Structure 1
């Protein structure tokens, strides 16, 4: 069926962009500056090869400036639709119109995937209607939030757990209802585990609808860094498998997590799309306005590739800026998410020629946007083309994944020389990176592992990556892992090696959770999840990537250690009382003193592998000793502060077996001497409670006290 378009239907309006449900029907609006014609296609089924209705939009009646629009009476939520765009195919001019391809709506709130979906069909000549993903009309207001609101927890009270929606519950051992494994609903069933662990936020790997076929032949895109939509939740993560189910199941998950006191942070990909390079498929942006949405090389036929996956979104173009902001607003206002982690965020600083801007419009738009004022913004402050901005990403609102924390802590724990002084800075939220602009300690998101790279178990079990399963002859993935296998490559039955690996894992957790800044943990590290040495498991939707829940019993001692450590961090006032202080002010407030094996004599030499420190909050004092030498070292302890209730108590010693490795402060053993023998590759934490001070300093200052 074909309509005369502007002659038969109300012309509609250019705003809002996308498919908007109004009284009596739906207004459709799509941006294309260079198109000569647009068809709006309606399908009865996502699998249909022929549209049930085609509405041709007239340039005179259905176009306002660069927006094509029409109002269609009688259309409701659930209607499947797409576009065809007509115009020149002139790659050398940056134009790639192909009316044989069914195109997604860039503002579509839902995406339907046909059984015969084919990435290849979207890349080759010919009509791909039966094999194309299609948009779905969504009523974003048709949901009962039951009073839910984003939690707005301060960063200095946040502990992040990076996880994959599907991988968290897909394994048969998850105990989740079989039909819900690997879904938003399945994650809800495991919320009690997250509560018991003690994390306060989940950071979900991409849940925007992505192309699962953007992977080597025979494999699938598991991570999801291959978006086709910036508004639609991934339908495959819903029990129903359809777009309408996905949007409500996602919101059910958010609401349930909020009720449990857990925030939801989305890992968002605004730096590239699944359309990839000049040989890639045409899904949406390429077929509507290629030179607007992408950064092109000088010859205009090729795509700039600062993302490492074929193309780069032209983020500082006015239309793309609007798209990104509208997407962020949607996820905050309609989906109630609490924050965003921006993949390869430094790309967003590049102009249409790929040159980094000193004051990038899109980053300042996000920084100053009132809708996003209470939202967590986290930047992965680098890109795949060498732009590295850790410590220099703009603004006060943005926080940063601290890649230097990851690298330096890994080197220190594997006993590399020359690391003592630099890791001391990492322990205190990296003042060398963030101490000069009155920024707080929460500027640094501290992590040792994330989805990209080794798991914590593999970091202490492999010297080399083992990515053969990815089908790229082990060429993919990072080569600089700063890992150490503790003497044996891969799994082993040697009890001495296993004991050392367990100790090293506890060391990594101790440093991450006792450091100032915002800690981030990787899904399953707390029970030694392994990827068998694969440090780039983006295409492994199988047991290599899934959380094996039998590990919770096998490594119950480590799980309990991490739970106790998280609980201890939450109870420490030093991590909370400095809210509003800059990092430099907080370090002064905390009264830090540095030591070596002798009090007040830190050894910062190149060959040193040990350090110690004391830090005082208003109600407790801590002494931390780290020995990453391969022999025991005896540390002479400084005297506890004068207001101490008792002598030092041993809270943590990573060389000890469970449950002696961690004790709560009231139950911790009391030391009877002023020395402590720290075993090789071990971290020790001593603590003491302090009496209330008798006098106070000026407002906002710590109480005065003699040493």
Structure 2
């Protein structure tokens, strides 16, 4: 049963060619009258052309175009308002007049920006051949730059048989050129000077105590109000968790998809993150945010999900891609009724299909050229290296096209170089420009800090930019994105507070989320009033922070880790759109000492040439920045499995920067020898994580001198000493 009047199915029924032949004379007369009326309405339409894809605004009207190779008929639906249950106009596309090759197109004079539209696409519903055409389903244009219809949207209606027009999402025609960027240009900050802050747009300001006006909480506009906090923190880039329009209903009953890894429309900003409900206002609010970040010297990186879509598996909804050309957009099993699931989310995008490759490239260019973003983090990026049948490709066309694209030449490209199908490409991801999330850095640093045996060698490799993973001597060490925590897993507070995950609120009997966290609760599971346990946790957090920021590579900090944000042991909070996931701004005061420590560490590394050196540190050199390894004795590092201690000296000859860093992951104090300095220089204590604020971090201008030739390093702690002139001797 169709919800709009007129159209192809009415004609079939009126002529007796459909499954419900009409033999009532009055009904046939009504159908003929309706067909004549619709023909009169549509007589002004023009053939249009096959490019560009999507809806393009011209002075005389709008050109609409979609890709659908195997379909037999297409209807363009035009709606008066976003939530109208029926279209006001149905335009049937003539396969002779409105089709070129695989593309259906039409030019509609008089249509302007703001027009709400969608499609019905007809063809064989033959899952055994990979076809899932269903004329009962209203489809979203993959190139839609804004999506409406949320007030009545139903994911379930897109799954069950029957017409879903009244509950379907629709696109909006927009002219993206009407915006004043006020001279905004990309910042182009080198990786060597970058500190990334991974954050959730809504979660950052959604909490009632955020200080943001209620109508702006959880929005792009809300983020603008918190830029001073981020600027003071010292970060240079925000990495936004998915902001492409996604399906919040893609979660278990009673829960919502919070993280956003369920994309519906790759060109559209997520509407729920906007304080402006007007479609163009939504797009402009996102651009206002980007422009404001740029004015503050902060880049905007988008977490993009090109490995799967919100349509799920064979039991999932038909929202767009399935109903347009299922076989082109998805990798199918040998039984084409089923979907290959390399994403862990039900389906896998066929990224190296020519049409899908074009969509992804067009999308990336759009966000750079029209929306001014500075880079992308590709979720489960190894999927993008798989061919049409799912096999890994030696030279995947899509990745090389992204790597070499001139529009993307100045952007940051960051790969999560693995997928849920077992493909792991950290250290071997295709391309010359891609940086990579360094998963081994996360795991090895976690294991060393919690005192696992046999981790000293691995720690040294991670500090040195992971030469065991990136053996090419010309590899830029800052293409390793180093992190301890990210959205997926424990927060930093929970990493030192829980031995086990606690995901019961997700409704999956604690079966979801990773079991391999390399966490340690410091003696008590969860919150505690024990001051000794709390002190140890605080120290461990500072150990993680210090290790992260002194290592070669680009550091990434998870939202709220600087103030001990907790998810109460939930390491898979994808469906927790509540205070469990939101940034609690009361923590800024409660854990102000830790915040000051993190701010100090960020500003410290940003002030030194040592940490902006764009080549791997030499292990011995007289004219290049170098690193030397030590143990408790100078020049004698202990690489044995029993060792839990390591020291290193960093020196930059041109900048005259000289640091000595000591790691003691043992549960006992150990005394370390210090290098002898030239006359007029002395060692000054910058960091000692055993000390309380403000002595745990001291700016070089106020750092106390350490007069001894050895340093007793407390249990489970990190120390940084800096060689400075002794002309001014700051005392303790």
TM-score above 0.5: yes
> For residues 265 and 433 of structure 2, what CA distance do their matches in structure 1 show?
26
The answer for unaligned runs of 5 or more in structure 1 is 692-707
- For the pair 1:562 / 2:601, whether they are aligned, the reply is no
State the partner residue of 1:669.
704
Pick one of 543, 552, 557 that aligns with 1:507. Answer: 543
> For residues 585 and 324 of structure 1, what CA distance do their matches in structure 2 show?
42
Superposed CA deviations along residues 179-227 of structure 1, whole A, max 9, x for unmatched, are: 1000000000000000000000000000000000000110000000000
TM-score w.r.t. the length of structure 2 is: 0.92
**SS where residue 534 of structure 2 aligns?**
helix
Maintained 8 Å contact 1:296/1:302: yes
Pick one of 226, 246, 254 that aligns with 1:190. Answer: 226
Maintained 8 Å contact 1:316/1:351: yes
- How many Å apart are 1:390 and its aligned residue? 0.6
State the partner residue of 2:713.
678
> For residues 474 and 672 of structure 1, what CA distance do their matches in structure 2 show?
53
Q: For the structure 1 residues 571 and 205, does the alpha-carbon distance in structure 2 shift closer, same or farther, using more than 3 Å as the test? A: same
Pick one of 603, 619, 636 that aligns with 2:656. Answer: 619
- Taking the TM superposition and a 5 Å limit, the aligned residue runs for 1:152-551 are 152-436=188-472, 438-551=474-587
- For the pair 1:651 / 2:707, whether they are aligned, the reply is no
Maintained 8 Å contact 2:618/2:627: no
> For residues 645 and 665 of structure 1, what CA distance do their matches in structure 2 show?
16
Pick one of 633, 645, 662 that aligns with 1:610. Answer: 645
State the partner residue of 1:64.
100
**SS where residue 432 of structure 1 aligns?**
coil
> For residues 111 and 383 of structure 1, what CA distance do their matches in structure 2 show?
29
- How many Å apart are 1:113 and its aligned residue? 2.9
Q: Size of the alignment, in residue pairs?
A: 687
- For the pair 1:639 / 2:692, whether they are aligned, the reply is no
- How many Å apart are 1:8 and its aligned residue? 3.7
- Taking the TM superposition and a 5 Å limit, the aligned residue runs for 1:103-118 are 103-118=139-154
Pick one of 592, 610, 630 that aligns with 2:667. Answer: 630
> For residues 253 and 663 of structure 1, what CA distance do their matches in structure 2 show?
34
**SS where residue 682 of structure 2 aligns?**
coil
**SS where residue 228 of structure 1 aligns?**
strand
- How many Å apart are 1:590 and its aligned residue? 2.0
State the partner residue of 2:730.
none
> For residues 453 and 277 of structure 1, what CA distance do their matches in structure 2 show?
25
- How many Å apart are 1:241 and its aligned residue? 3.2
Superposed CA deviations along residues 629-687 of structure 1, whole A, max 9, x for unmatched, are: 000001111213x3x74211111000000000011112111111101100000000001
> For residues 170 and 177 of structure 1, what CA distance do their matches in structure 2 show?
10
Maintained 8 Å contact 1:415/1:628: yes
Superposed CA deviations along residues 476-515 of structure 1, whole A, max 9, x for unmatched, are: 0000000000000000000000000000000000000111
Maintained 8 Å contact 1:438/1:584: no
- How many Å apart are 1:563 and its aligned residue? 0.5
- How many Å apart are 1:319 and its aligned residue? 0.3
Q: For the structure 1 residues 680 and 271, does the alpha-carbon distance in structure 2 shift closer, same or farther, using more than 3 Å as the test? A: same
State the partner residue of 1:53.
89
Superposed CA deviations along residues 403-436 of structure 1, whole A, max 9, x for unmatched, are: 0000000000000000001110101111111132
- How many Å apart are 1:583 and its aligned residue? 6.2
Maintained 8 Å contact 2:684/2:724: no
Superposed CA deviations along residues 164-193 of structure 1, whole A, max 9, x for unmatched, are: 000000001100011100000000000000
Maintained 8 Å contact 2:145/2:267: yes
- How many Å apart are 1:615 and its aligned residue? 0.8
State the partner residue of 1:694.
none
- For the pair 1:552 / 2:588, whether they are aligned, the reply is yes
**SS where residue 720 of structure 2 aligns?**
strand
> For residues 139 and 530 of structure 1, what CA distance do their matches in structure 2 show?
42
**SS where residue 251 of structure 1 aligns?**
helix
- How many Å apart are 1:6 and its aligned residue? 7.8
Maintained 8 Å contact 1:396/1:439: no
- How many Å apart are 1:105 and its aligned residue? 0.4
Deviates more, 1:600-609 or 1:432-441: 432-441
State the partner residue of 2:13.
none
- How many Å apart are 1:589 and its aligned residue? 2.4
Q: For the structure 1 residues 615 and 114, does the alpha-carbon distance in structure 2 shift closer, same or farther, using more than 3 Å as the test? A: closer
State the partner residue of 1:696.
none
- For the pair 1:100 / 2:136, whether they are aligned, the reply is yes
Maintained 8 Å contact 1:159/1:518: yes
State the partner residue of 1:689.
724
**SS where residue 629 of structure 2 aligns?**
strand
Maintained 8 Å contact 1:209/1:235: yes
- How many Å apart are 1:584 and its aligned residue? 6.1
- How many Å apart are 1:78 and its aligned residue? 1.1
- How many Å apart are 1:126 and its aligned residue? 0.9
Maintained 8 Å contact 2:619/2:627: no
- For the pair 1:660 / 2:695, whether they are aligned, the reply is yes
> For residues 71 and 389 of structure 2, what CA distance do their matches in structure 1 show?
23
State the partner residue of 1:698.
none
State the partner residue of 1:699.
none
Maintained 8 Å contact 1:32/1:289: yes
Q: For the structure 1 residues 254 and 585, does the alpha-carbon distance in structure 2 shift closer, same or farther, using more than 3 Å as the test? A: farther
Superposed CA deviations along residues 348-380 of structure 1, whole A, max 9, x for unmatched, are: 011111110111010111011111111000000
- How many Å apart are 1:242 and its aligned residue? 4.1
Maintained 8 Å contact 1:136/1:243: yes
Maintained 8 Å contact 1:292/1:320: yes
> For residues 415 and 197 of structure 2, what CA distance do their matches in structure 1 show?
16
- How many Å apart are 1:518 and its aligned residue? 0.1
